[in-house]
Structure 1
Amino acid sequence: IINGEYEPNDDECQLKTDFLETNDTQLSDTEFGIPSFWLQTLKQVPMIADLIKEWDEPILKCLYNIKLQLHIEPITGFTLEFYFNDQSKNYFTNDILTKFYEIQIEPDKEVLSYEGTAIIRSRGCQINWIDTKTNVTKNSKTGELQSSFFHFF
């Protein structure tokens, strides 16, 4: 439903009728999925919301899926995969942006206490920006680094 790959039938859409009866909002019959779902979801997470700047939002509207890949061997950890649609090609050439986290599950033999699983390192991917004007991690006029969600990678 989020990506528009499944369209609910009339019985499943009873909420649409109820919603329209109580609101003056018009819903488009040609719009599929939930527009800007991942942008809105990320903005609801306080730790992440602070990272998202207005210049990041047009790119994050192109984000259509986030997946988690677990790794056991040779290194224990996980990778977050951010999938972008073709409109993101106006900004960078990557289809997927990734961030890998290595985690420590076992206690360190040299440490006397164990506080549980911990992230011990992370590694992001390189973003292949189209040009300096589309690179939202740098000010397009001065070239200096600026706050951006995309420093996450």
Structure 2
Amino acid sequence: VEDGVSEDEEDEDEKDEDDEDKEIEKVEGIPEFWLTALKTNPQFADIITEKDEEAMKHLVDIRMAYFEKPGFRLDFEFSPNDFFTNTILTKTYFYHDEPGYGGDFVYDHAEGTKIDWKEGKDLSVTVETKKQRHKGTNKTRVVKKTVPAETFFSFFSPPVAPEEDDEDEEEDEDIDERLEADYGLGEELKDSIIPRAVDWFTGKALQYQDNGDQYDDDFEYDDDEEEDDDDEDDDEDEDDDEQPAKDEKAPECKQQ
């Protein structure tokens, strides 16, 4: 026995880890494993579009790593595809060097890989075509304009915190909300999706969440009952205060 842990317990823990690794390796070989796992998660299901799915079918692995400076890196590995030339798309989250109140790390900013889109395959924009007529010659011409499109791949172009002297409060609030949402996605990947990838693929992770919500719903508090409990506590306190008067020996009782 070493440090309160027996050799049998250590061997059992190592066996469990090996079995878990083998299970992950086995399931990750299934086509569209990571796409399915992400789509099962409510936070990512909201940002993955139908157009994204064709590209994300080539997502073969997601890895997380910490580094010396406070923060973590997420690596998305893709097989060759018709959409971009990158093999790995990276998203890095940085914390402030100094911990915040309570000792927790405080989010600072995030950086993402520039995606090298193939011609005509950029999922982050849509092309709008309009006809313009010249007033003098009455000739028409076709004008193409690109506008931003909703896509999962915007995840790799994180929002930037507003400048301190920015006076547009509404815009600042919008950016703050986007920053918070982006940080939440990173934390969800780090703490839940990557370590429990198999459960998200099979849908078992949702059962855990539902059970947790049901557990919370089973314990609802009644304001009237809380007030009654407070009244009972007050009555008990009053009884305790009166007790020494009834029993003069009480103050003399001391623990040896």
- Give the TM-score normalised by the residue count of structure 2: 0.42
Q: Is structure 2 residue 45 aligned with structure 1 residue 53?
A: no
CA distance in 2, matches of 1:85, 1:2: 22
Shift of 1:104: 3.6
Which deviations, in whole Å up to 9, do the C-alpha atoms of 1:116-138 show, x marking residues without a partner? Answer: 2232110011000011x200010
Match of 1:134 in 2: 121
- Contact 1:105–1:116 at 8 Å: present in 2 too? no
CA distance in 1, matches of 2:36, 2:112: 22
Match of 2:149 in 1: 146
Report % sequence identity.
34
More helix by share: 2
* Rg comparison, structure with higher value: 2
**Cα RMSD (Å) of the superposition?**
2.5
- Contact 2:99–2:106 at 8 Å: present in 1 too? no
Larger displacement relative to structure 2 (134-143 or 57-66): 134-143
- Contact 2:71–2:93 at 8 Å: present in 1 too? yes
Give the counterpart of 2:110 among 122, 132, 135. 122
- Give the TM-score normalised by the residue count of structure 1: 0.69
Q: Is structure 2 residue 71 aligned with structure 1 residue 77?
A: yes
CA distance in 1, matches of 2:97, 2:41: 26
Q: Is structure 2 residue 83 aligned with structure 1 residue 96?
A: no
Shift of 1:103: 1.9
CA distance in 2, matches of 1:115, 1:107: 5
Structure 2, gaps ≥5 residues long: 1-21, 129-144, 157-256
- Contact 1:53–1:147 at 8 Å: present in 2 too? yes
Shift of 1:54: 0.5
- Contact 1:2–1:37 at 8 Å: present in 2 too? no
Which deviations, in whole Å up to 9, do the C-alpha atoms of 1:4-58 show, x marking residues without a partner? Answer: x769xxxxxxxxxxxxxxxxxxxxxxxx921211101011111111110000000
- Contact 2:71–2:95 at 8 Å: present in 1 too? yes
- Contact 1:2–1:34 at 8 Å: present in 2 too? no
- Contact 1:38–1:63 at 8 Å: present in 2 too? yes
Shift of 1:2: 8.5
Alignment size in residue pairs: 119
- Contact 2:62–2:75 at 8 Å: present in 1 too? yes
Match of 1:62 in 2: 58
Shift of 1:94: 0.4
CA distance in 2, matches of 1:2, 1:144: 43
Structure 1, gaps ≥5 residues long: 8-31
